[in-house]
Amino acid sequence: QVQLVESGGGFVQPTGSLRLSCVVSGLTFSIYTLNWFRQAPGKERELVATISRNGGSADYGDSVKGRFTISRDNAKNTVYLQMNSLKSEDTAVYYCNANYYTYNYWGQGTQVTVSS
């Protein structure tokens, strides 16, 4: 069965950094577009970053451009989200997502809290 296991969330002070990881199993990793979403309390789910099959292209939500970097390692079936210059408004549950046409799979979510 498909499984997406996230790690790396936690508590960090403003201007700090975190790196989230998501290890994927049970699917052909290299054909899936990989995404990070987040959802803060009372807000809509928001696309944070997306990366293409071979890692050749990536895009980001406007609120994180210049601060976050998505990457993938197809040999390790892992997608990462490097988060720098964190702000309190980055506080949310972050979800790893894999999609291929109509197929979508989700991680369990990991809490990121940015606070002084």
Tens-place pLDDT, residues 29-80: 999 999 999 999 999 999 999 999 989 999 999 999 999 999 999 999 999 9
Q: What is the Cα–Cα distance from 34 to 83, expressed in whole angstroms?
A: 16
Number of Cβ within a 10 Å radius of residue 34: 27
Pairing relationship of beta strands 68-73 and 33-39 according to DSSP bridges: unpaired
Q: pLDDT band at residue 4, thresholds of 50, 70 and 90?
A: very high
